[in-house]
Amino acid sequence: MLLDVLNISKTLSFIIRSISDNTSSLCWVFYLFTCTVAIYAQFGLRYFEEFFAYGDDDSLRAGCHSTLSCFILIFYHGLPSSSLDGAVLNPADNTNPHYIQRVIFDLTFFIWVGLILFNIITGLLVDGFGSLRESDAARIDLQKNECFVCGFTRTDYEDSPNLPDNDKGFEYHKDNEHDYWQYAYFCIYLNRKSKDDLTGVESYVWSMIQKKNTEWTPTRNSLAIQIKTESKVADEADSAIDPEALEKIGRDVKDLKKSFSALEKVIAHGKST
Ligand SMILES: [Zn+2]
């Protein structure tokens, strides 16, 4: 239960994920640590065996006298302090005949382990943490500024030329017209409903879901925009009629009326005779 906070706190979960996402890289760095310690244990035992000591303990049991014990000693005391001098090896002053060799031995260990390898680990964790924060920020931005159902971005929606006159804005569209929970509920409803009782529309949607086809969902469109678009098209079609053609049709109708009236007179005259 104490560790549940790792799931509750976003920052702590990012820390854990930055480690778990970089497990492979961290394992390779650990491998480098192991190789480094093995090499220094081998060389240390070969050239500086008399310097190895467990702190102030300089009794007969002090130090290490095999590659394995030197490996363990450096791993246990040398790595945490990133140094061999003082932690694993007794200090050597400049009167010691091995002084220069000790300087090189100690400094190379410090530079390789203390400066490079540990900073690689820090860099991996910081990079992982940073990329997680960036992806989280991108996800939040996507949730705020893009409709999950139709893919309309806030800018594209607000610039759409076919928005209805009483449009309530992108937030309303995203949270009400295209509430993704409603789509999720509908999918669950279809899943649970007897397939023999599905209506025509439900059968169509269910078949598309089975095929993992999302064409049944709107794409950069909505019912309100669709109605507005259709009404605009109808208005444009009405206004597109040629006035001269209308005038000609009117003249034709008048001519037809005259012909009919003349015909009626002929028929009436025929009946009277
Ligand atoms: Zn939408």
- Identify the domain containing residue 202 by its residue range: 154-222
Asked if the model's pLDDT at residue 106 lies above 60, the reply is yes
Q: Is residue 2 part of a domain?
A: no
pLDDT band at 244 (very low <50, low <70, confident <90, very high): confident
Q: Ligand 1: distance of its center to the CA of 77 in Å?
A: 61
CA distance 78 to 37: 9
Provide the percentage of residues in the chain whose pLDDT is more than 70. 93
Summary mean pLDDT of the chain: 86
Cα of 211 vs centre of ligand 1, distance in Å, is 22
For residue 80, tell me if it sits in a domain.
Answer: yes
Same domain, 122 and 36: yes
Helix (H, G, I), strand (E, B) or coil at 241: coil
Instruction: State the distance from the centre of ligand 1 to the C-alpha of 225, rounded, in angstroms.
Output: 10
**Would you state the pLDDT for residue 130?**
93
Residues 136 and 163 reside in one and the same domain: no
Does an H or E element contain 191, and which?
A: helix 180-192
pLDDT tens digits along 150-187 = 989 999 988 888 888 888 889 999 999 999 999 999 99
128 and 211: one domain?
Answer: no
134 and 28 within one domain: yes
Does one domain contain both 25 and 141?
yes
Q: Is the per-residue pLDDT at 27 higher than 90?
A: yes
203 CA distance to ligand 1 middle (Å): 23
Domains in the chain: how many in total?
Answer: 2
- If phi > 0 it is left, if psi is from -120 to 50 it is alpha, else beta; for residue 107 that is alpha
Ligand 1 midpoint to CA 189 (Å): 21
* 127, 52: one domain: yes
Domain assignment of residue 115, yes or no: yes
Domain boundary among 145, 177, 199: 145
Amino acid type, 199:
T
Mean pLDDT of 39-46: 92
Q: What is the pTM of this model?
A: 0.64
Distance 174 CA to ligand 1 centre (A): 6
pLDDT tens, 173-225? Answer: 999 999 999 999 999 999 999 999 999 999 999 999 999 998 999 888 888 88
Locate the DSSP E strands across 153-217: none
